[in-house]
Structure 1
Amino acid sequence: MTDGRTMGANGGSEPVAFGRRKEDRRGRVVRVAAVGDFHVGEKDGGEYREAFARVNDEADILLLAGDLTRRGTPAEIDVVIKELQDVRVPILAVLGNHDHESGQPEKVNEALRARGVHLLDEAPFELNEHVGFAGVKGYMGGFGRYTLTAFGEQDTKTFVGTTLDEVQKLEYSLRRLSTPVRVVLLHYAPIMDTVMGEPEQIFPFLGNDRLLEPIDRFKAAVVFHGHAHHGTFRGQTPGGVPVFNVSMLRVREDAGAELFYVHEIPLPADLPAAEQASEPGVEHPSGAERAAARSGSA
């Protein structure tokens, strides 16, 4: 368990595939580092740089689960970029509510793209032919029988519609992955288990379990989210998918890590070991291209 870095991204509409930075020593696992809610401010330069740099030795990929900044200003995201400058493994991210606060999320995204961070809200990502990543910010609305429904005022319908749009985007992203192992990254929680510990009155603002349906239907290997700083580190979906609340406070207090949690995903026994990577940032064929090659089509 520790901290991470990333390079390489693609703003296109097709899933992106990157070779492994190096073949895992055991050859049968992919190591995923994940953290959210580190809320960088303009005066936080150097606070996380060394910790993030260690991800190069400890994981194959770094996931950022939103709330990278305090208010989502260009000055704050510039500090975030500097904190990530030593990271060489691929970095994937979704934004959080704090990253939207200043009403400039596209400027935040633009800076992240320029750094080589892949935005899962725009397209899924395939690390290799075995493991792919899908993600969205998610949204609010509550859990179980207390989930808000689209009844009444137009504002309520719009609110619920935003959640449903996020669910649809996640389903589409998962569907586009050609990999047998799928990992999901969110900001908002998809289950109530991992918000337990927060005041019950704010549960509806911490996530929404409508996100569960595509997660379980596509049999995700694991889900990471942030946002619930005082929630619970681990839970699972009704379908048995493990869910980790990787808000930085939870990672530090529950996982005993300095900045990020590292989760090992075993590859299925019937799959060959993941291929050795070429140089960082070198693109490999997308899942669609590999499928076409296997079928003999152009």
Structure 2
Amino acid sequence: MRIAAVGDLHVTKESSGRLRPIFAQLEGRADVLLLCGDLTDYGLVEEAHILARELSVLKIPMLGVLGNHDFESGHVDKVVEILSEAGVRVLDGDSHEIGDVGFAGAKGFAGGFGRGTLGPWGEPAVKSFVKEALDESLKLESALARLRMDRRIALLHYAPIKATVEGEPAEIYPFLGCSRLEEPLERYPVSFAFHGHAHRGSLEGRTRVGTPVYNVAMPLLRRQLSPDLPIRLVELE
């Protein structure tokens, strides 16, 4: 299976016609497209409609998760509805099977990495923040647990490991992802994990058990991979 993955499209009202030529290049080169959040810039209904039109050139299965930008305007349900009508299966703690490959998706959340991971102690606001990270981790774990095949793929918006956010200012690492998202990837091993969000991070890294993790934020792919085809292509043997 040939997997195409990209996140952080940040579609605006002025994006019409800009992404279609990029997606058109996937014809014959990919069997599935994964969209790793921040698909819109402000979570506006109009932005979702524009993205749906840009994706209309594709005839392959499309799976996606939302990112923090997609929540900004409070129209999440409508954004999901529009993307679903365009053929994108939006995953939020859900799993989906294509052939003998299983896909599990969740947005994820912030919280930091390793010894710097924020713990649920102190003020109620801190405990609420950590609970959100735990809930997103449990969503991913539940989605992975439902998949009974050997080949599994995880897609997120927030990073599950520190290695793929390196390159960003160290001060914002805690807001780019959380090690709690790495734990489900170890309990239910995956072939690959994809995420976005870290525009100036690193292209790839590995979990503690050696699972490849790819940062597919489009701004990063434009700079370091290809300005003409800023989409990560990975073949699953």
* Normalised TM-score (structure 2): 0.97
| Superposition map of 1:161-200 within 5 A | 161-200=131-170
SS in structure 2 of the partner of residue 124 of structure 1: strand
Question: Conserved in 2, the CA contact under 8 Å of 1:252 and 1:258?
Answer: yes
Q: CA deviation at 1:122?
A: 5.2
Aligned length: 236
Query: What CA distance in whole angstroms lies between the structure 1 residues aligned with 2:57 and 2:134?
Result: 37
2:192 equivalent in structure 1: 222
Query: What CA distance in whole angstroms lies between the structure 1 residues aligned with 2:111 and 2:124?
Result: 15
1:73 matched to 2:11: no
2:13 equivalent in structure 1: 42
Q: Aligned letter for 2:45?
A: P
Find the structure with the greater CA-based Rg: 1
Two-structure CA RMSD over aligned residues (Å):
1.0
Runs of 4+ with >3 A deviation:
none
Q: CA deviation at 1:56?
A: 2.5
Query: What CA distance in whole angstroms lies between the structure 1 residues aligned with 2:186 and 2:236?
Result: 17
Q: CA deviation at 1:250?
A: 1.9
Question: Conserved in 1, the CA contact under 8 Å of 2:93 and 2:142?
Answer: no
Question: Conserved in 2, the CA contact under 8 Å of 1:126 and 1:179?
Answer: no
- Residue 97 of structure 1: which of 68, 72, 97 is its match? 68
1:231 matched to 2:201: yes
Query: What CA distance in whole angstroms lies between the structure 2 residues aligned with 1:59 and 1:258?
Result: 13
SS in structure 2 of the partner of residue 110 of structure 1: helix
| Superposition map of 1:202-213 within 5 A | 202-213=172-183
Query: What CA distance in whole angstroms lies between the structure 2 residues aligned with 1:117 and 1:68?
Result: 11
- Residue 234 of structure 2: which of 239, 244, 263 is its match? 263
1:124 matched to 2:124: no
Q: CA deviation at 1:255?
A: 2.4
Query: What CA distance in whole angstroms lies between the structure 2 residues aligned with 1:141 and 1:35?
Result: 23
1:33 matched to 2:1: no
**Bigger RCO of structures 1 and 2 (CA < 8 A, at least 6 apart):** 1
SS in structure 1 of the partner of residue 53 of structure 2: helix
Question: Conserved in 2, the CA contact under 8 Å of 1:248 and 1:259?
Answer: yes
Query: What CA distance in whole angstroms lies between the structure 2 residues aligned with 1:82 and 1:242?
Result: 32
Deviations 1:202-235 (CA, angstroms, capped at 9, x unpaired): 0000000111111012111000000000000010
Percent identity at matched positions?
A: 48
Query: What CA distance in whole angstroms lies between the structure 2 residues aligned with 1:166 and 1:203?
Result: 18
Query: What CA distance in whole angstroms lies between the structure 2 residues aligned with 1:258 and 1:99?
Result: 23
Cα distance 1:122–1:211, how it changes in 2: closer, same or farther (>3 A)?
A: closer
Q: CA deviation at 1:144?
A: 0.6
* Normalised TM-score (structure 1): 0.78
Q: Aligned letter for 1:213?
A: E
1:281 equivalent in structure 2: none
Unaligned runs of 5+ in 1: 1-29, 267-298
Unaligned runs of 5+ in 2: none
Q: Aligned letter for 1:87?
A: L
